[in-house]
A and B are shown apart, each in its own frame.
Chain A
Amino acid sequence: MERFEITLDARPAGAARRSTLCGVVASGNLEVLVELGQDPAACTVEVSTSADGFRDIWEAVLADFAERHPAGGLRISINDAGATPAVVSLRLAQAFEDSAGGAA
């Protein structure tokens, strides 16, 4: 297992966001927990992954996510069981979209 935390500069998420969980910790899959953080101009991401030695790729995928989505003010936590970068990107996008879903 490898664990690390990254703080990304990100545009403020703005509109009301809610805590959400997407995905399942299963082989080749991951879960993404979205919560509200402190700094509206930053997105913190805590990664716990079963695949050691891929931090560079994680940083690239997460930077890409922060560029595509106004994720500022969000605190993201990930439990990963060896998902590919494409799956990680899709799951992050899904969690981001889901976190905007209504006031519930």
Chain B
Amino acid sequence: MSAKRVSYFEASARARVAALVDPGSFTEFCPPAQRRTSPHLAQLDAPVAFDDGVVVGAATVDGKPVLIAAQEGQFNGGAVGEVHGAKIRGLLERAARERPAAVLLLVDSGGVRLHEANAGLIAISEIMRALMAAQAAGVPVFALVGGACGAFGGMGIVTRLCDEVIMSEEGRLGLSGPEVIETVKGVGEFDSRDRSLVWRVTGGKLRRGLGEATRLVDDDASAFRAAAVAALTHHRNAPADLASLKAAQAALTERRATHPDTRDGLEVWRTLGLAQPEAVPMLASDEFNRQLDALATEV
């Protein structure tokens, strides 16, 4: 191992794609030169991006063909506008036709782009439908979450539809973001400036502990790649038929009973039986995974 560690958190969408796929294997669809920019942002006289904040294309990972989308969190918070959403939807529809080994969604998004209102909302629902159609065609979809914007709003739901969710502790997953909750319900409900609390409630370790994330990795692009490679070999399947959906629903009901009135990740660690709950946030992912796996085998 001689290569310098590349922080997935800090990398741009294009740098993430480059670090994940086999060198030289990436072909971009709708590349920047085609200038498929947002008509809505132009109408509002706001800056546009040539790729509308998402990179989509085909590549190989460990020699296996994949389709891949990477959201750029720095452009409007990775938010989904009409063009941005259409690119992801088109990629997933292509997956249903071409049947690659998997689709990788590199999610880094606050959700719908509010400038585009209904067009963004419709785009999200189209992505969800296309994602499930790809899964129904036998193509697994993996979400990778480790950017500054995390996976929130509609993209939080899209992430939870995926077969595998690969996260770092730095990545966050939720529906309403911390600032939204504080704005609506007050600081007593959730203090969005308490960064430690924000990560204990939305971060990768909690999501992994609750089973929403399937793999927890360090903030390292090569660790994300290794997890994607492993998932290509063996992956969980999202609930697809009625029986498995009912089982998932029952598991969620049971979870609510196991963790009643929980307001902090620390309480979850304690309930799960981790020896030192307060030490969990600083654990390296390997050690955290080891402790979690040890608990699973005890039961």
Contact = CB atoms under 8 A, between A and B. Distances in A.
Interface of A: 1, 19, 21, 24-26, 29, 31, 33, 35, 48-50, 77, 79-81, 104
Contact of A19 (B33, B35, B48, B74): B33
Interface residues of B, number: 18
Contact of A25 (B24, B33, B45, B49): B49
Which of B12, B50, B53 neighbours the largest number of chain A CB atoms within 10 Å of its CB?
B50
A79 B49 contact: yes
Nearest to A77: B50
Interface string B113-127: 000000000000000
A48 B75 contact: no
A26 B33 contact: no
A37 to B, nearest CB: 12
A24 B33 contact: no
B40 interface: no
Nearest to B77: A26
A90 to B, nearest CB: 15
A86 to B, nearest CB: 19
A79 B48 contact: yes
Contacts of B49: 24-25, 31, 79
Which of B24, B47, B72 neighbours the largest number of chain A CB atoms within 10 Å of its CB?
B47
A33 B33 contact: yes
B46 interface: yes
Contacts of A31: 32, 49-50
Interface in B52-81: 53, 72, 74-75
Interface in B2-32: 12, 14, 24, 31-32
Nearest to A20: B32
Contacts of B45: 1
Contact of A50 (B46, B50, B53): B46
Given A33-B32, A33-B33, A104-B24, A25 B48 contact: yes
